[in-house]
Amino acid sequence: MEKSIFVNEAFTCALNEYLSSKDNPEGIKYNSFFVVVIRLLTLIYDELDILNPFYLNNEVSLNMNMKKYGYSDEDLNEFKRSLQRFYENETEHNFLKIQKMLVDMFAKKKVTLKLSEQEVNDFRSLLFSPYASNTLLVSYNFMMTKDPFEVVSYFDKQMAENEKKVVSKPKETLNLEAYEILNYALEDIKAMNSDELDEVNKEVYNYFDINANAINKNYLLDKAVYEHNHPKPALSTGNGYIDILFILSIIATVGMVILIITLTVL
């Protein structure tokens, strides 16, 4: 019975050897080139992103998983072809090319996500270089290359050039008196970054019962701060018409009291 081929012979062989050697991490097979390729792929993507499509024999699913950080169809197809060419003939050119393509995949992930230093170091230590974590990788690298530092130098360069680009968000400063009302020192407000200030601003809006998404929120805040700093007299209701009626009723009451007292005296 003919064995099922997933993607191509090289990819199928790599996955089968990876699965059969996982229990012996120091063994020769687990540190062989094709298995290390799969190990590097599992550091770029989740292991299940690589294994599930294999189990389901679904190359379309594999392609989708391997493109999720922006790797192109053209580059992915070339990666598969290079892996097959190396399977058929182990040349220095494809040995280096495959690893550099894996580095490119990792670099795209690094631009997309915030990776820890440990994640970067783990990937670097699994490349075939004089700094590899296993002596089998170091030895094979010296055997296959004229410049044993070529891949790791390429990796270091790509990591330096592909930092996750963080666009600084401008700070939104509200009415300064509002911060003082909530007992925030202006020096502290100025020292905060945009994220910290956003949290304080939410607190300010909540304190004054203002919808932070309102179009006229700045006007409402200025008005609320002014009213807080200039409270209305105790006899005021806040409604001019009602206040007039209220004052007139007081005058009428006082007048009535005076009239009663006058009549009583008479």
Residue at a domain's end among 112, 130, 161: 161
46 in any annotated domain:
yes
4 in any annotated domain:
no
Q: Are both 135 and 265 inside the same structural domain?
A: no
2 in any annotated domain:
no
**Ranges of the chain with pLDDT below 50:** 1-2, 165-167
Q: Structural domain of residue 195, as residue ranges? A: 167-231
30 in any annotated domain:
yes
pLDDT, one tens digit per residue, over 124-167 is 999 999 999 899 999 999 999 999 999 999 999 999 887 654 44
Residue at a domain's end among 161, 192, 217: 161
pLDDT, one tens digit per residue, over 182-202 is 899 888 888 888 888 889 999
- When divided into structural domains, the chain yields a total of 3
Token match 């990776």: residue?
115
3 in any annotated domain:
no
pLDDT at residue 2, rounded to an integer: 43
Q: Are both 109 and 177 inside the same structural domain?
A: no
pLDDT at residue 253, rounded to an integer: 66
Q: Are both 57 and 144 inside the same structural domain?
A: yes
pTM recorded for the entire structure: 0.61
Q: Residue 246: how many CA atoms within 13 Å on its side-chain side?
A: 10
